[in-house]
Amino acid sequence: MGENIHLEKNVADGVAVIRLDRPKVNALSSDMMRDLHAICDELAVDDTTRAVVVTGGRNNFAAGADISEFPSFTAETAQQFSNMFNDSLLALENLPQVTISAINGFALGGGLEVAVATDFRMIAEDGRMGVPEIQLGLIPGGGGTQRLARLAGVTMAKDMVYSGRHVGAEEALANKIVSSIHDPDELQDAAIAKAAQYATGPAALRMAKRAILDGLALPLGEAVKVEAEQFGACFATDDCRTGVQSFMENGPGKATFSGR
């Protein structure tokens, strides 16, 4: 796709990998974020891809935005950059596929913001996460203050944002920022294997994701109506018919789904 971000499809059945690849530490440039948006636009209409892994490779996930762009910013252009960055991460967050970040090394600043825009985060034992922007006289500008608070709670988010400190894998797991910890050399394979499990799931995964994401922004009374709408949409899928029939005839957990 772009020089520093790559899309590889069918690394396993129905699984694609988005790879951040900008030496030395995958600093996220404006061009990379625009390319990420374009990749997400492509994946959003790709019915053959049913799960996506985001990775920075063996050494680092992403050490943040490209700070070399910042000296030229004014208040206005900085806000435009933040809006562009957020648009790209909303495109990632809203992908219909299940998304997993595989975090080796550092996921800092914009790198953490990319990771928390995916459904799940799997981290290496030596992984480090943080939002150190306060040390530059800044705050996170790619949704970090918002998604981190929703994941880890307001107090933990304030601690990380106000101090700029890094958290290790164990602390990230304890605070629900990540879902599992892995050997660094086995992380990517583990993430692809987990994605492959979701790739065999029913079309209802898309409805479940939509219900959760849309419902989070609504009062409960309105959110359950969103859930009801997505529940109804399941009954228009082949997988629902297959799953119900299989349950009636063979019991739970025996259905083979097509993703349609």
Cα separation of 211 and 207, whole Å?
Answer: 6
Residue with tokens 């349950």: 247
DSSP assignment, residue 127? Answer: -
CA angle 153, 156, 157 (to 5 degrees): 80
Residue 8 appears among annotated catalytic residues: no
CB-CB contact of 33 with 58 (8 Å)? no
In the annotation, is 249 catalytic? no
Which one is catalytic: 69, 133, 171, 229? 133
Backbone φ and ψ of 184, nearest 5°: -55, -35
Radius of gyration of the chain (CA): 19
User: Which residue among 42, 113, 227, 229 is the active-site one?
Assistant: 113
Q: Mark out the alpha helices in the chain (DSSP H runs).
A: 30-44, 75-93, 110-115, 144-152, 154-163, 169-174, 187-199, 204-216, 220-234, 238-250
Q: DSSP string of 177-230?
A: S-SEEE-TTTHHHHHHHHHHHHHTS-THHHHHHHHHHHHHTS-HHHHHHHHHHH
Amino acid identity for residue 260 in this structure: R
Known catalytic residues are 113, 133
